[in-house]
Structures are given as C-alpha cells and as structure tokens.
Amino acid sequence: MANTKSAKKRIKITKVRTLRNRRVKNAVKIAIKDFMSKLNSGDVTAATEAFKNAVRVLDKAVTKGVLHKNNAANKKSKLASKLNKVLSASAESTSA
C-alpha cells in the first residue's frame, strides 16, 4: 500500500490511464475484426470503408500514446496488403 500522498495519487493516475488504454486498445481490436469480417465476406466496398476506419482508429491510438507508431504502421501495412490482395483478385476477375 502506498504511504505517501504522491504515491497514492500515482496509483489513481495509473488506474485511470489503464482504463483509457484498455478502451483504446479494445477499439483497435474491434476495428480490425470488423475489417477482417467484411473482407472475408467478399464485400470490397464495405471492406474499404472498414479499412479507412481501422486506420483512423490506429492513428488515434498513436496520438494518445497507447500504441507505438511502428506498431500501428505494422498493423496498417498488414491490413493494406490484405485489402490490396482482394482488390487485385476482384480486378482480375472482372477483366478476365
């Protein structure tokens, strides 16, 4: 248990920040899962919109200091490559 006043305050601050970080990380996970579900369903336009939303949520997490910028960049890159793979496959099927 904390003995000093400043230590007690730091415990409160840590609890508040932990809750905020948990909410932001949860929002990131939900955005990525939403994108993946729309991508797997085959709806390219909805997947593109979900990708934009996921990128927006990831960038907000970086701004708030919850995720490191390289971590978010890695996630965005993986999502973009998956989207591009589906987009190129759909473009080939329409042109063929």
**Segment 76-89, tens digit of pLDDT:** 999 999 999 999 98
The alpha carbon dihedral of 42, 48, 54, 58 has a sign of: positive
In terms of Cβ atoms closer than 10 Å to its own Cβ (0-12, 13-18, 19+), residue 51 is buried
**Segment 56-71, tens digit of pLDDT:** 999 999 999 999 999 9
Asked if pLDDT for residue 47 goes beyond 80, the answer is yes
Quick one: DSSP state of residue 1? -
Enter the CATH code of domain 5-95: 1.20.58.110
Quick one: DSSP state of residue 64? T
Residue with more model confidence, 42 or 24 = 24
Per-residue pLDDT, 93: 75
Kindly list the distances between the CA atom of residue 50 and the CA atoms of 20, 39, 80, in Å, as whole numbers in the listed order: 23, 9, 11
Per-residue pLDDT, 33: 98
Give the predicted TM-score (pTM) of the model: 0.86
> What ranges in 42-63 are assigned the alpha helix state H?
44-63
Domain residues of the chain, as ranges?
5-95
